[in-house]
Amino acid sequence: MPPASFTLCDDVRDARSPVVVAARRTPVGTAGRSLAAYDVTALSVPVLRALVSDLASDPADAAGHVPVDEVVLGNCMGPGGDPARVAALAAGLGLNVPGVTLDRQCGSGLEAIAQAATHVAVAGGVVLAGGVESASTAPTRLALLPDGRREPYDRARFAPDEYGDPGMGEAADALATARGITRERQDAYAARSHALAVAAQATGVFEPELVAVGAVKADERPRPGLDGARLARFRPAFTPDGTATAGNSCGISDGAAAVAVVDEATRAHLGLPGLAVRAVAAIGVDPRLPGLGPVPAVQAVLDVCGLSIADVGALEITEAFAAQVLASTDAWGLDPLGGPGEQVVCTQGGAIALGHPWGASGALLVVRLFSRMVRQDGPRYGVATCAVGGGQGVALLVERVG
C-alpha cells in the first residue's frame, strides 16, 4: 500500500505541527433554492471572514487579526479563474495574500486542508483552507462531438473508456451489488442521517459552526419523519434494477466550508484548542467502484500513526450514497445501524441529510470533526474521509490538542 502523503505522528511533532484551530461553514442549500443567488465568491467570503474573526485576539480590533499567509480552496464545477484568490481579495485579506484553487472532485475540500497542513509543516504560518460549490451558478459546459457539433454535458470524465467511466450513482449501485448491501440497509442509513441532522438542528448543535449567507441561516435539506417506510417508496434513480434512490443518496447542493490551519507555536500563542493534523493520505482504487476509496486511505493514515480503527472516536465520511458508506463501514467492522460505529460514524447526520456541495464537502467533514471533538469536548482521535469519482480515496487523521 502506498504510504500516506504526509505524516506528523508522535515522534516528529514540533513547533510547526499543523493544527486546525477554527472551522466554519455556510448553511447547505439545495441547488436552485435558498442559496441559488450566491456564486462561489459570495459563498466563500463570509466563511473566510468568520475564520479571521475567530483567530483575532479582539474581533473588534482589525490590528489584532492574525495575518493570513495563503488561501486554498477546492472547487469542482465553478467558473475557473482561481476562485480562492478572488475570494481572498473580496474578503479583504490583503493584496499580498495569495490563493490557489484545486480540484480532486468531491475530495477537493479535504485535499485543500491536506495541502494547507503540508504548507504549515514546511513553512509555518496561517492558511485558510476548504472548499466551495455553487451548483446553482455553475456555467454550462460544452462537449465536442465527433461530427464537430457541441452539446452541453453534466460532468467531466472520471476515467478512460476502458474503465467504463461510470457515474457515481451507477457505481454506487454496482458497489451495493458487489458487497451485498440491501436496499433496506441503505434506506435505514438514510433515515438515520436525517433523524440525527434534524435532532442536531433542533438542539443548536450546528449553530457555532454556521455563518449566515444573507438571510439564510440554517441547512434546508434535513427532513423530520423520513423513515424507512417513506424511503421505500422511492424508485431506483440510476439503473433500472438498482438500489440507490433519491432518498438514500445525497442532494446536489450549494455551500462553502473552511478551516484555519496554523503551526503549533501559533496555536499555543493564541491559546486555542484544536485538531492537530497527524496524517493525510490519498490512494487510488478501481474507478468502477470508487466508493471503496475510503477503505485503503483510512487504513494508510491509521498505519503510519500506529493506530487501529478502534482508536477512532469520531469518523466523518461523505454520505454521497448510503451504499458506499455501508461498504466502507462494513470493511472497518463498524456498524452505524445499532452496532459498533453507531456512536462514531456521522453521529449528527451527513450529506444524505445536509446535502453534498461537491467542492466543499470534504472540508465540511473537518468542520464537523471540529465541532464534535473540540466544541463538544469529544474523543481524542478523529478521521475525515471521502470517496472520489474516478476511483480515489482521501483521508485525514486528527488528534484533539490544547
- The span from the CA of 228 to the CA of 234, in Å, is 10
40 assigned to some structural domain? yes
Q: Which of 76, 106, 305, 386 is catalytic?
A: 106
User: How distant, in Å, are the alpha carbons of 41, 49, 72, 92, 138 from that of 81?
Assistant: 11, 21, 14, 18, 13
State how far the Cα of 60 lies from the Cα of 248, in Å rounded to an integer. 44
Handedness of CA 309, 209, 387, 110 (dihedral sign): negative
Record the pTM: 0.96
CA 146, CA 127: separation in Å to the nearest integer?
44
pLDDT at 154: 85
Specify if 155 maps to a domain. Answer: no
- Residues written for the chain: 402
Expressed as residue numbers, the domain containing 54 is 1-138+160-397
Position 83 in a domain: yes
Alpha helices in 237-357 (DSSP H): 264-270, 294-304, 322-332, 351-354
User: Phi and psi dihedrals of 401, rounded to 5?
Assistant: -135, 160
CB 318 within 8 A of CB 356: yes
Predicted pLDDT at 336: 98
Residue of 250, 305, 356, 386 with catalytic role:
356
Active site residue 356: yes
- Whether 146 is covered by a domain: the verdict is no
Q: What is the pLDDT of residue 12?
A: 47
In order of 162, 169, 384, the CA distances from 376 in angstroms are 47, 34, 17
Within-domain flag for 81:
yes
Task: Establish if 103 belongs to a structural domain.
Answer: yes
Q: Is 392 helix (H, G, I), strand (E, B) or coil?
A: strand
| pLDDT for the residue 11 | 47
Q: Measured between alpha carbons, how far is 137 from 36 in angstroms, rounded to an integer?
A: 7
The DSSP H or E segment spanning 129 is strand 126-134
Look at residues 103, 41, 95 and name the one whose alpha carbon lies nearest to residue 68.
95
Domains: count for the chain: 1
Contact (CB, 8 A) for 220 and 28: yes
Identify the burial level of 239 via C-beta atoms within 10 angstroms of its C-beta, where 0-12 means exposed, 13-18 middle and 19 or more buried.
middle
Please name which of 318, 327, 286 lies closest in space to residue 165, comparing C-alpha atoms. Answer: 286
- The DSSP secondary structure of 322-364, one letter per residue, reads HHHHHHHHHHHT-BTTTSTBTTTBSBTB-HHHH-B-HHHHHHH
CATH number for the domain harbouring residue 364:
3.40.47.10
Instruction: Decide if 86 is inside a domain.
Output: yes
352 half-sphere exposure, CB direction, 13 A CA radius:
32
Per-residue pLDDT of the chain (402 residues; tens, 9 = 90+): 455 665 666 544 588 899 999 999 999 999 999 999 999 999 999 999 999 999 986 655 555 678 999 999 999 999 999 999 999 999 999 999 999 999 999 999 999 999 999 999 999 999 999 999 999 999 999 999 999 999 998 888 999 999 989 999 999 999 999 999 999 999 999 999 999 999 999 999 999 999 999 999 999 999 999 999 999 999 999 999 999 999 999 999 999 999 999 999 999 999 999 999 999 999 999 999 999 999 999 999 999 999 999 999 999 999 999 999 999 999 999 999 999 999 999 999 999 999 999 999 999 999 999 999 999 999 999 999 999 999 999 999 999 999
Whole-angstrom CA distances from 224 to 172, 197, 220 are: 25, 9, 12
* 269 labelled catalytic: no
Q: Which backbone phi and psi does 378 adopt, to 5 degrees?
A: -90, -155
Query: Cα-Cα-Cα-Cα dihedral of 86, 91, 95, 99, to 10°?
Result: -50
Instruction: Look at residue 402 and tell me if it is in a domain.
Output: no
